[in-house]
Structure 1
Amino acid sequence: MEDKCTPSHLPLARRFCLNAKGLPYKTIWVEFPDIEASLAIARYLERTYPGPVALIPPALDGLVGDFQKAVWAAFGLPMMRLVVPAVHATLRPGARPYFRATREARFGQPLEELAPAGSALRAECWRRRGSGGGARGVRTLLVSDALPVSYADAIMVSWLYWFRECLGEESGEWKTMTAWHGGRWVRLMAAMEKYAQVDSGESVQLSKL
């Protein structure tokens, strides 16, 4: 999707929203501590640029926060031990001390010990996440295939792109994920691909790390 790795799924979610709205923008690559949350930004886009796509339909506005938390609890949190070390490896040298210190404080152990490849701990992370279940209906988009893309789709597919980036597209672990729910997440990624374009952007450092 892009030449640079992102240390979080959040910039991906915002990019999907901007592209779905058809809004011009310029990418500014910042260090990890400067990344901001996405829901408030999505709501701002809805208020300021209501067309041509309603990312957050009015009837669902009260639910999107709960949806975002549910995705984190069921999908993001169980996978963090697997992807955090990979994220650290993609960061610029200036951002790594902050990232390492905050993540090691959160997990209570060095990054290298979170879920090493081939370890029983890594296998337990996958066991806790489960197999993803079988196919769950034929719908591709999360709200409705009869409606345009939504913020829910942007959030979910941003996680998927990020996991693919962190785990490696050719890895067995990513291929396992693509089979979850009868391949539904692969179909969602394919449907959202048209909103995935990114400019080369420019780099700027906002934080003194």
Structure 2
Amino acid sequence: MSRHSSRPAAPIITLYDLKSASPQPWAPNIWRIRFILNYKRLRYHTVWVEFPDVEATLRAIGAPPSSVKSDGRPIYTLPVVVDPTRNPRAPHILANTNNIAEYLEASYPARPVFPEGTRALQTLFVHYIQEVFVKPLLPIMVPLSHQSLPERSQSHFRGGGAPGYPAGREQAWRAVKEQFDFLSVILDKNAGDGDGIVACGHEVSYADFALCSVLIWIQRMAAQDGWMRIREWNGGRWVRLWERCKAYMDEY
């Protein structure tokens, strides 16, 4: 017997992620947190949860709701992070992607994802990605993501009927390309004092992780119809961004 065998294992962070039929995680909001954990070299493991079990699972661990409806009812969504590394008896339990990102940056300041002086601009950039950039993708990606869920999770949404792929496929992808073209023009403004690929000059940051999380979603749900298109757009810019972020795509 090793003389170290009785030493308790050090607590590590738990990331609650969405279970799918694919062995690879794909949900973009959750990938943003996975990127930060990997970039900061924090030890963590993943707990996979099916859609029908999300609320019950999160209530059981004492997670806060990610938001609240206008009538006051709580909304429970993933990701959720449980961090017992500071105090195993009273771990930090956090919901909402942006809240988790802020917590991880404040608690683990080494290897910052918000370089000094960029927090406000990055927050606006990420808001744009969430609220504007992804909108034309939703009619394409939501049906494909639904198909990738386990049967039980698919059934959970069938009360309103399974979502279908848009009839005007090429028109839908043209609307997506308009957003990519616009963002490419904006990022080109960094070419004079940066590398023109990442959002904050030379080093990857939270903004890049938010955008690359969308690329992962497309690559894993629409590898042929989507990612093969996008990798050719804007002179291969998005493949170069993917390569810059690839070192932080570990899945634990």
> How high is the TM-score relative to the length of structure 1?
0.76
The structure whose RCO (Cα within 8 Å, separation 6+) is larger is 1
Q: How much does 1:58 deviate? A: 4.3
For each residue in 1:41-98, what CA deviation from the matched residue of structure 2 results, as whole angstroms up to 9, or x when unmatched?
11101110000x1112342222333212211344311111111111111112232244
1:195 corresponding residue in structure 2: 248
**Is the strand fraction higher in 1 or 2?**
2
**98 and 64 in structure 1: CA distance in 2 versus 1, 3 angstrom threshold:** farther
Q: 1:143 aligns with which of 195, 200, 204?
A: 200
1:180 corresponding residue in structure 2: 233
Contact 1:7/1:90 (<8 A) preserved: no
Contact 1:55/1:151 (<8 A) preserved: yes
Q: How much does 1:156 deviate? A: 0.8
Q: How much does 1:31 deviate? A: 2.2
Is structure 2 residue 163 aligned with structure 1 residue 111?
Answer: yes
Cα distance in 2, alignment partners of residues 41 and 182 from structure 1: 34
Contact 1:71/1:156 (<8 A) preserved: yes
Q: How much does 1:179 deviate? A: 1.8
Identity of aligned residues (%): 28
Q: State the structure with more CA Rg.
A: 2
Unaligned 5+ runs, structure 1: 200-209
1:47 corresponding residue in structure 2: 106
Cα distance in 2, alignment partners of residues 129 and 90 from structure 1: 21
Is structure 2 residue 98 aligned with structure 1 residue 79?
Answer: no
CA RMSD of aligned residues (A): 2.3
Cα distance in 2, alignment partners of residues 130 and 192 from structure 1: 21
Contact 1:5/1:90 (<8 A) preserved: no
> What is the count of residue pairs matched by the alignment?
181
Q: 1:17 aligns with which of 14, 17, 36?
A: 36
Unaligned 5+ runs, structure 2: 1-21, 55-76, 80-95
Is structure 2 residue 47 aligned with structure 1 residue 28?
Answer: yes
Contact 1:7/1:91 (<8 A) preserved: no
Task: State the one-letter code of the partner of 1:15.
Answer: R
**178 and 100 in structure 1: CA distance in 2 versus 1, 3 angstrom threshold:** farther
User: Which shifted more, 152-161 or 55-64?
Assistant: 55-64
- Equivalent residue of 2:135, what SS? helix
Correspondence 1:94-133 to 2 at 5 A: 94-100=152-158, 110-112=162-164, 114-115=165-166, 119=167, 121-130=168-177, 132-133=180-181
> How high is the TM-score relative to the length of structure 2?
0.64
Cα distance in 1, alignment partners of residues 249 and 177 from structure 2: 28
Contact 1:43/1:56 (<8 A) preserved: no
